Amino acid sequence: MAVGESRSGTSVYGAADPIPVGVADLSELVEGKPRGLVTSKLKWEKLESEDFERLIFSLVSSESGYENPEWLTRTNAPDRGRDISVYRVVNDPLAGVLRSRVILQCRHWLSKSINVADVKTLEGQMTLWEPPKINVLTITTSGRFSEDAIQYIERKNQSGDPLRIEMWPESHIERLLASRPALIAEFGLR
């Protein structure tokens, strides 16, 4: 496997290591005076479904504010809507430590969008994983959500239902990974 394509669970590049770039002179990039995170289209087609799940697991398990990540079922197994379970921890200086149980469902779909039926099916399956109570269902995809699915999720989240649904389409994941170049390199996404 070429440098930057390790999927063994160890990072190819450390946080302070230089990452190879596809330009001859970095001054070409500096001339554009970039600001903020630099997101770019990632090569999702390089990943298999298990690699996508491993990427999401690596993302949440290495992030402060998340604890006890679990990736218990095999990829493409009948997991009943759960690929990864994790606790999101918020340290509120006035209220103390708040923990939310988050279930992440990973969909490595390059040509299909998440639709309303997909969302409703996953939503209905959350009770199968309780107790303990699930606070958030996060649907992660290397693709996108249909307009109907977006509207359904937004209405549901405004309804007062205690289960919140979060959408992580490819653009959101690309933005998260923009500040984590070691993960991009590890999974060979450039």
Exposed, middle or buried, 136 (CB in 10 Å: 0-12/13-18/19+)? middle
User: Pick from 4, 3, 110, 5: which is nearest to 49 by CA?
Assistant: 110
Quickly tell me which residue has 């988050």 as its tokens: 102
The pLDDT, as a whole number, for residue 5 is: 47
The pLDDT, as a whole number, for residue 9 is: 52
Dihedral of alpha carbons 11, 15, 17, 18, sign? positive
The pLDDT, as a whole number, for residue 160 is: 93
The domains of the chain are located at 27-186
Q: Which regions in the chain score pLDDT beneath 50? A: 1-5
185 Cβ contact partners less than 8 Å away, ≥ 6 residues apart: 4, 11, 12, 13, 19
**Class for the domain spanning 27-186:** alpha beta
Distance CA 190, CA 180 (A): 13
**Which pTM does this prediction carry?**
0.78
The pLDDT, as a whole number, for residue 34 is: 62
The pLDDT, as a whole number, for residue 3 is: 47
How many helices (H) and strands (E) would you count in the chain? 6, 5
Q: Using one digit for the tens of pLDDT, what is the confidence trace for 156-187? A: 999 999 999 999 999 999 999 998 999 999 99
